[in-house]
Each structure stands twice: as C-alpha cells, then as structure tokens.
Amino acid sequence: MTCPRHTRVAIVGAGPAGLLLARLLHLSGIECVVLESRDRAYVERRQRAGILEQGTVDTLRAAEVAGRLDREAVPHDGIELRFDGRRHRVDFPTLTGGRRVWVYAQTEVVKDLIALQLKEGPPLYFDAPVHAVAGADTDRCTVHYTHEGQDRTLTCDYVVGCDGHHGVVRRALPAGATRVHERTWPYSWLGILADAPPVYEELIYAHSERGFALASMRSARVSRLYLQVPNGEDPAAWPDGRIWDELDRRLGAGPRWRLERGPISAKSVLPMRSSVTEPMRHGRILLAGDAAHIVPPAGAKGLNLAAGDVTVLATAFAGLYGSGSGELLEAYSDTCLRRVWQAERFSAFMTTTLHTAPGASSFDARLQVAQLDRIATSPHAAAELAHNYTGLALS
C-alpha cells in the first residue's frame, strides 16, 4: 500500500478525538492523515463511555455521521440519585431549560466514524504505530511510524496528538514546554457488560456505605454496570454471583425488587485519574482528548471533552487554511482549557460526593449525604448538577 509522504495535518490515534477531527477537517477540505497503532477490530470493540452531551450530538450531526445515532440513540431527560435509603430524580430539561443527554456507546460512535472515513476519506491507517514526532519548533513536522513491517515518515504542517493518555505525542514535546496537573484517586471501578435488561429506564448513581455503584445501559437488552472497588483489585476476585449480590446491595434492592441477572460478557477494573496538560499546544504540535486531559468517569465527561476539543480545533484549522488567520489556533489551548477545568471540577465533585474513600469517617459519609440531600431539596443545587452533567455552554 502506498502511504502519503506529506499532508497538512497528521492525526495520531483513531479514537473518537482523532476520527472526529479527521471528519471535520475533511468536510472543510483540509488534507489530513490518521495513523492508529491498533487494528480496526480492537478499536471498534474497546468498551468505554456511554453518554453523549447534546453538544456532542450536535457536532456529530454537523459532521454528517449521525444517521444511525438518530435512529438508535436514546435521549435521557434525567438521572436518579440513590442515597440514605432514598431515591431522587434530577430532571434535566426542567432544570436547564430543555437540555438532555443521549445514551449511545462510544464503540458505536467510533464504528460510525470509521465506516464513513474508510468510504469517503481522508486516509486512515490501522496497525500503524507512531513512535516519534519531531519538529515542533520548526516550519514542518515529521512523524515516524511503522506500517506493514516498514519504518515510514510523514511530513506535515501540524501534528495533532489524539493518542490517549499513554500516547507518544505528549512525550515528544520539549521538556519544560508543558506542565501536568494530576490526581490519582484512591479507588477504581469494576465495570461489567451483561446480557440483562437495564434495571431502570435512566442511569442510577448510588451512594452507599459499601461504596459507589452505577447502573447504566447499552441497549434494551444490555446493561453496563459499575462497582467501586479498591485500587489494584483483581477482577478474578469478583465471580459473577458476587458482582450481582453487591450491585443489589448498593443499588438498594429489597424484598420487592432486585436486579434482573444475565450472562456477563466483559469484566474489567478501571483505575481513576484526573490529569490536565497545559498548554495543549507547543509550536506545531497540538494535543486533543485524553492525550491532553483525563477525568474520573463519574461525570461522564471524557468522550464529550474529546469531542469539544476537536470541534474547536477543526474551526481553528478552517480559519488558518481558509482565510489565513491563525487567531483561533493561537487561542486553541486557552479556549479548551476553560471547559476542561470545569469538567475536571464537576468530575471531581461527582467522584468525591459518591465514593467512599479508604479510611473515610462517619462524619465524611454524613457530609456526602448532606450534599446529596441538598441536591434533592434545592432546585439551585439540582440545577448546578444538571447544567454540568448535560454540558456547560462554554465556547
């Protein structure tokens, strides 16, 4: 296969950030190439996020990749909080003037974007790991990668690192060019995918003395469920029966109600980190999505932030290559970081409010319940949650 030797924008990584950026650039007539280290099947199978903000859906529609999403995604107008033996529903449209979220798995977004890109372009190479990037401070960048057993190079005007939290592009930036702010959380999630109908029509976020639980879904027949577990937990310590029993307890099952059980098709432990790299650009190298920042998943923000970054970036490149104005590209990092820090703040709030930290006292637990009670009884507190969950209207 002949691979291009030069392009305008080289995109490293075919997760949601890289694929959506490629699609948006393609629609603006800006030449780009996507290089992905894994194979297509692996990228399409990776189980991750499940909630799309309205702004993300709007971007996918503008990118003309929302045909299946518009048929299959399920709008959600609220979430349920369970705590202290109580249930409280947070109604998004009432509290936010009409905003909502959509249940449509990241795997499906990725499949839709890949199918379209392989049909219409721009070039997308799987099994093409990038191992070095050079030239951030020069007038041209070089990307070194391997494909079909051969070492290759791609020169370009700009490189965008959409290669996730463990990617290579961030590490290619000169020492001292960026600063990383981070926090490791003292607990993880055990996530499962089960062939069982969702327990409830909306997501349930449950606080309990035994730790946090989340009941989400992928379809009318497939549930996605999470349990807080200690860091370093081995999934093998959680046979299926133990998982269902624990979910029942944390979600407040009683004599008249318990989860409908089914075969578990995937089981893994996800550590949690918050991290932001500032700035998100140095010279000709830019970072987007998880390559620049990660959030703990309780706020459902990771994928939505990635979509937000590349929307800003695509508009900036359109300005540069269309009218020759680099103003938006200059502002890229600052524009994104404002929204990123709001998402970090909200994700940290959801995490600390809902999880039981090791060594937490009964005082800590009562404070959490008081916080949740405040959301349940104050429209202002509920609106703050609803606005953040559905996505803040920041440019």
What is the set of active-site residues? 76, 205, 297, 301, 389
- Least separation in angstroms between residue 141's CB and ligand RFL is 15
- Least separation in angstroms between residue 208's CB and ligand RFL is 20
Distance CA 318, CA 355 (A): 43
* Residues 222-241, interacting with ligand PHB (CB under 6 A): 224
Which one of ligand RFL, ligand PHB, none interacts with residue 12, CB within 5 to 8 A by kind?
Answer: ligand RFL
Pick 258 or 387: Cβ nearer ligand RFL: 387
Q: Measure CA 99 to chain center.
A: 19
Pick 51 or 291: Cβ nearer ligand PHB: 51
- Least separation in angstroms between residue 367's CB and ligand RFL is 26
Pick 146 or 371: Cβ nearer ligand PHB: 371
The answer to whether 107 and 48 have CB atoms below 8 angstroms apart is yes
Which one of ligand PHB, ligand RFL, none interacts with residue 269, CB within 5 to 8 A by kind?
Answer: none
Three-state secondary-structure class, residue 11: strand
**Dihedral of CA 182/186/192/196: which sign?**
negative
Which one of ligand PHB, ligand RFL, none interacts with residue 284, CB within 5 to 8 A by kind?
Answer: none
Which residues make Cβ contacts (< 8 Å) with residue 151, sequence separation at least 6?
Answer: 144, 145
* Residues 119-158, interacting with ligand RFL (CB under 6 A): 129-130
162: closest CA among 322, 15, 320? 15
DSSP state of 324: -
- Least separation in angstroms between residue 312's CB and ligand PHB is 23
Q: Quickly count: other Cβ atoms within 10 Å of residue 306's Cβ.
A: 28
- Least separation in angstroms between residue 270's CB and ligand RFL is 5
Distance CA 10, CA 322 (A): 18
Distance CA 20, CA 57 (A): 12
Which residues make Cβ contacts (< 8 Å) with residue 134, sequence separation at least 6?
Answer: 141, 142, 144, 172
Pick 17 or 276: Cβ nearer ligand RFL: 17
Q: Of residues 66, 225, 306, 337, which one binds ligand RFL by CB under 6 A?
A: 306
Binding region for ligand RFL (CB under 6 A) out of 175-183, 240-248, 297-305, 385-393 = 297-305
The answer to whether 165 and 271 have CB atoms below 8 angstroms apart is no
Q: Of residues 24, 43, 49, 269, which one binds ligand PHB by CB under 6 A?
A: 49
Kindly state whether residue 335 participates in binding ligand PHB, applying the rule CB under 6 A.
Answer: no
Tell me the β-bridge partners of 131: none
Side-chain-side CA neighbours of 362 within 13 Å: the count stands at 0
Three-state secondary-structure class, residue 135: coil
Number of chain residues interacting with ligand RFL (CB under 6 A):
32
Kindly state whether residue 167 participates in binding ligand RFL, applying the rule CB under 6 A.
Answer: yes
Report residue 118 as tokens.
């392989």
Number of chain residues interacting with ligand PHB (CB under 6 A):
10
214: closest CA among 359, 82, 383? 82
299: closest CA among 354, 370, 371, 225? 354
* Residues 6-35, interacting with ligand RFL (CB under 6 A): 12-18, 35
Give, in degrees to the nearest 5, the angle at Cα 112 between 301 and 318. Answer: 70
Kindly state whether residue 290 participates in binding ligand RFL, applying the rule CB under 6 A.
Answer: yes
Residue whose Cβ sits closest to ligand PHB: 50
- Bond prior to 122 in cis (omega within 30° of 0): yes
Kindly state whether residue 308 participates in binding ligand RFL, applying the rule CB under 6 A.
Answer: no
Kindly state whether residue 347 participates in binding ligand PHB, applying the rule CB under 6 A.
Answer: no
Pick 16 or 391: Cβ nearer ligand RFL: 16
Where do contacts with ligand RFL occur on this chain (CB under 6 A)?
12-18, 35-38, 43, 48-49, 106, 129-130, 162-165, 167-168, 270, 289-290, 297, 300-303, 306
Where do contacts with ligand PHB occur on this chain (CB under 6 A)?
49-51, 203, 214, 216, 224, 297-298, 300
